[in-house]
Structure 1
């Protein structure tokens, strides 16, 4: 990184311990998570009739619950795994590479968690029950909030995998940012 890029990087985050990639990822994930309640609201007008939300098909609700448990297990056991960082490199390069890998992992976990909601949509249309969509939306939002949101919990979990060889990832921040 040349002097100009370094100065732009440092000026772009004046009193912040978060790199620009962290703010961008948070904004992107927030917009993507917002799609679940928006789609649920839209499907309300498609599936709700004069009779109400329709019957509650418990079998299909249990299928959505099982899918959510599978998505949770995948995210917990596979979603935060990555190859450890190699020794060497400038701190800003290591931090950029860490954020790139964390972002990739976040999008994979997002796809898995959102699948719970997306599968509930056609099931709700087939069963003509808005309840299935509500169950899928509730479980999907819970998973997205817990497993995908790029907060400190998920950053620390991913940083632990990156730092398995003792190389600092700077994902939760650089030491000088916490002084």
Structure 2
């Protein structure tokens, strides 16, 4: 049986996702205004592309996190399976967040050392925040992909039902 790295409830997973999206968005807005907003020159196109490429790479890796789930055993008690499945999904959500958030760091570095004001944060921030939301929010798509891996040997984790009921 895969070990649940977190003892979490569906509500806690949702709250974590909302909190992280809000904190990252707020932090990006704060930094944008701290560095002069849009008063500076827009960066060259090559730099704009270089700031977006890491976001695509992070999304690629975050999209494969659900593949790391080990199937649950068929003979475990249903209540334990359900709790274990939510814990595995919570751990995957945290991992996805780190993959997506790390891709925003180059934009922060360019903002600090470059002479482009807050533009690098806008260029990377909008798609980066969209990817964080897409990957970390416990949508039916994300839950179903994890549930498919957990239930692949015949177990009934009821992961989707856990989130629909909460």
Fold match by TM threshold 0.5: yes
Q: Check the 8 A contact 2:71/2:149 in 1, yes or no.
A: yes
Deviation at 1:118, TM superposition (A): 2.8
In structure 1, distance between residues paired with 2:148 and 2:113: 43
Could you give the per-residue CA deviations for residues 16-56 of structure 1, whole angstroms, max 9, x where no partner exists? xxxx711111011101111122112211232116x714332
Q: Match for 1:48 among 36, 41, 45?
A: 36
2:41 aligned counterpart, secondary structure? coil
Aligned position for 1:150: 138
1:151 is displaced (CA, Å) by: 1.6
Structure 1 or 2, whichever has the larger Rg, is 1
Aligned to 1:159: 147
Distance 2:161 2:138 in 1: 13
Aligned-residue offset at 1:146: 1.2
Aligned structure 1 segments of 4 or more residues deviating by more than 4 angstroms: none
Alignment match, 2:15: 27
State how far apart, in whole Å, the 2-side matches of 1:119 and 1:150 are: 27
CA distance in 2, matches of 1:86, 1:35: 37
Please give the TM-score of this superposition, normalised by the length of structure 1.
Answer: 0.79
Residue 7 of structure 1: aligned partner: none
Contiguous gaps of at least 5 residues in structure 1: 1-19
Note the residue ranges of structure 2 that are not aligned, 5 or more in a row: 1-7
Q: Report the secondary structure of 2:106's partner residue.
A: helix
How do 1:19-98 residues align onto structure 2 when only pairs under 5 Å count? 21-48=9-36, 52-76=39-63, 78-81=64-67, 82-98=69-85
Deviation, 1:126, is 1.4
Deviations 1:152-177 (A, max 9, x none): 11000110111111111110016xx6
Name the TM-score, length of structure 2 as normaliser. Answer: 0.85
Match in the other structure for 1:10: none
Deviating more after overlay: 93-102 vs 32-41: 32-41
Separation in 2 of the partners of 1:39 and 1:131? 14
